[in-house]
Structure 1
Amino acid sequence: MSASDTAYDFIKQGILSGDLAPSSFLTEGQLAEEVQVSRTPIREALLRLQTEGMVELFPKKGALVVPATPREARETFEARSLIEEWAAEKVWPHRSEIVATLHAKVDQMVAAKRADDIGRFSAADREFHEVIVEAAGNSVIARQYRHLRDRQIVIVAGSMRADKSRMATSVKQHRDLLLLLESGTRAAFVRACREHVTYATSLVGSR
């Protein structure tokens, strides 16, 4: 990986995990010291993150981690719900092809919960749903969905940290989705996907 890619991954994972909290200010010097690179790759990484809507740049100073507004939070979850319901319908004929991968993602969620690793838990949760969306067969939608999940993880990170019992609820819901995918009906699976996003939306509403 280039120094710019290394810096990008470091900063982005910090934002997604909540270690770099919304509204916090990141200085180029501090980031360069933490990543152990010069300021140039830090600036390049911050430029990439600005195009993704994760930070707002202040030239020669650093960047602000952009907090989500209530409107953005609502619209992010509305868009996620639309995509996941569409994907649930589309993937149904191909469900047997992804079940094993989805089981592995749930196992990763369980392991992360036991380790009290919210960042790793969120990553496995996200990947579970990305498997379904990507298997639905539309690369443009899959790409947009990945961006939506980036923002959603930032939005709910604080809620997960404040109430870690929600990880147990999330694991159960993912297991229920898998069970429906293996032995339920298409209608029940689509409905459960919708209800799962509704639950995720409630994490924001209860903050």
Structure 2
Amino acid sequence: MLSTSGESAAERVYREVKAQILTNGIAGGELISEGDVATRCAVSRTPVREAFLRLEAEGWMRLYPKRGALVVPISDREARDVVEARALLEEHAVRGIAGHAADRVALAGQLGDNVAAHSAVDPDDLAEFSRLDVEFHQLIVSAGDNPLLADFYVSLGERHRRMTTSSVHRNTAVASRILDDHRALLADIERGDADAFAAAVVVHLAGVHDLRDVTTTLRGRQ
């Protein structure tokens, strides 16, 4: 049941269902019904219908009258596009601070705190594990001191988070890889080695999301 608050029932249903989609509680390709969601959330079908329409407009669902709502799976194209955009933005940020020791130290401190918190989280807690994964990468882009690029990267955050939870859910070994890779990326930043970081972040993102062709494409651009 959803908690009581000042927000509308439709808003609460929207948040609940979207959170389930982003954390793989409702998997891509799954068909869900207004009635089931209304029962689970203890609301009528009207706010559920409103929430579904909003989720469809954002691209998370496709609605089928009298059948339900299909949660749109992550397509190979979407995954490649998100990973390519992330790698390019992170490389740009790290190259921007590579020659500035104070900026590197500040970022390294933030990333170190993130890695410590991330290491303490049970990978089965997909919501928190994926949130900290997103935070690690957003900290890097924010350090580039370009608000427009940082805002764009934040807009990728929900897709990033959904991809991470899907990857960890599919293969539990991915969680350990993410943490090991983050420690290595942090070390590259501490050394100011932008070239090493650029190569490593491509391998990291492509490996976590099992996108081998992206590694080849992005290495060709470096």
Query: For the residues of structure 2 that align with 1:175 and 1:127, how far apart are their CA atoms?
Result: 14
Alignment equivalent of 1:16, drawn from 17, 22, 43:
22
The 1:37/1:63 distance shift into structure 2, 3 A limit, reads same
Residue 97 (structure 1) aligns with? 106
Matching residue within 36, 39, 42 for 1:36:
42
- SS of the residue corresponding to residue 8 of structure 1 reads helix
**Alpha carbons of 1:151 and 1:37: their partners in 2 closer, same or farther (altered >3 Å)?**
same
| Larger displacement relative to structure 2 (153-162 or 173-182) | 153-162
How far residue 102 of structure 1 moved from its aligned partner, in angstroms, is 1.9
- The letter of the residue matching 2:113 is A
Instruction: Quote the Cα distance in structure 1 between the aligned partners of 2:65 and 2:106.
Output: 48
Question: TM-score, normalization: structure 2?
Answer: 0.77
Whose helix fraction is larger, Structure 1's or Structure 2's? Answer: 1
Q: Decide which moves more: 129-138 or 169-178.
A: 129-138
Alpha-carbon deviations, 1:113-148, whole Å to 9, x = none? 3x6323321111011111222332333433332343
Please give the residue correspondences for 1:106-121 in structure 2 after superposition, counting only pairs within 5 Å: 106-113=115-122, 116-121=124-129
Decide which of 138, 141, 147 is 1:133's aligned counterpart: 141
Supply the distance in 2 between the matched residues of 1:188 and 1:58 (Cα, whole angstroms).
48
Consecutive unaligned residues of structure 2, counting only runs of 5 or more, are 1-5, 214-222
Distance of 2:111 and 2:29 partners within structure 1: 34
CA contact (8 A) 2:163 2:209 kept: no
3-state SS of paired residue (2:174): helix
Cα 1:65–1:139, aligned 2, differ >3 Å: closer, same or farther?
farther
Contact 2:91 2:194 in 1 (8 A): no
Normalising to structure 1: TM-score of the pair? 0.82
Task: State, as a whole percentage, how many aligned pairs show the same letter.
Answer: 36
Report matched runs for 1:1-207 at 5 Å: 2-3=7-8, 4-58=10-64, 62-92=68-98, 93=100, 94-113=103-122, 116-202=124-210
Name stretches of at least 5 consecutive residues in structure 1 with no aligned partner.
none
Q: 1:7 & 1:32 partners in 2: Cα distance?
A: 8
Alpha-carbon deviation of 1:21?
A: 0.4
Query: Which deviates the most, 187-196 or 13-22?
Result: 187-196
Equivalent residues, number = 204
- 1:97 Cα deviation from its structure 2 partner: 2.9
Q: Which amino acid aligns with 2:83?
A: F
**2:130·2:164 contact (CA, 8 Å) conserved in 1?**
no
Supply the distance in 2 between the matched residues of 1:85 and 1:172 (Cα, whole angstroms): 19
Amino acid aligned to 2:112:
H
* 8 Å Cα contact 2:185-2:201 kept in structure 1: yes
Shift of 1:53: 1.7
Q: Matches of 2:11 and 2:109 in 1, distance apart?
A: 31
Q: Is this contact kept in 2: 1:159–1:203, CA < 8 A?
A: no
Bigger radius of gyration: 2
**Rounded Cα–Cα distance in structure 2 between residues aligned with 1:136 and 1:52:** 28
Distance 2:11 2:143 in 1: 27
Distance 1:136 1:5 in 2: 34
Q: Distance in 2 between matches of 1:60 and 1:91?
A: 54
